[in-house]
Amino acid sequence: MDFAHDELVTGRKLRVLTVVDTFSRYVPVLDARFRYRGADVVATLDRICGQIGYPKTVRVDQGSEFISRDMDLWAYCNGVTLDFSRPGKPTDNAFIEAFNGRFRAECLNAHWFLSLADAAQKLET
């Protein structure tokens, strides 16, 4: 999982949490918010994992949201291993980086987002 960044028509910044299963290529969530903290990532993962089940491992970068206590506690309580990429080495998590590049080209650059609700609807579509 990783983040993609964009903005609304008004210029307000958006962050989109992108989660991809590297085995099945299934994308269980593309969740847009104005800001994301560790607790927000945990809430999104709890919602999704409640529907599809918990993974054994989650590959993430060293972002502050992913190294937070909230995320660490969530992983520990649910038996999930957090696999951190080395700082400055995006090739450690190349699949999500490639996905985010295609996601930017095919979705983020192709749409204008009027509001957070509009962004959520277009991402779901």
Spell out the domain ranges in the chain. 2-124
Q: What local confidence, expressed as pLDDT, does residue 88 receive?
A: 81
- Sign, CA torsion 50/56/59/63: positive
Tokens describing residue 5:
């960044």
Q: What local confidence, expressed as pLDDT, does residue 42 receive?
A: 96
Pairing relationship of beta strands 81-84 and 57-60 according to DSSP bridges: parallel
pTM for the model stands at 0.91
Q: Which value, to the nearest 10 degrees, does the dihedral of the CA atoms of residues 17, 103, 52, 93 take?
A: -70
Residue 98 near residue 2 (C-beta atoms within 8 A): no
Residue 123 near residue 100 (C-beta atoms within 8 A): no
Residues 6+ apart with CB under 8 A from 48: 19, 28, 29
Q: What local confidence, expressed as pLDDT, does residue 94 receive?
A: 85
pLDDT averages per 10-residue partition of the chain, 125 residues: 95 95 90 94 95 93 91 96 87 87 94 95 92
2-124 classified as CATH 3.30.420.10: yes
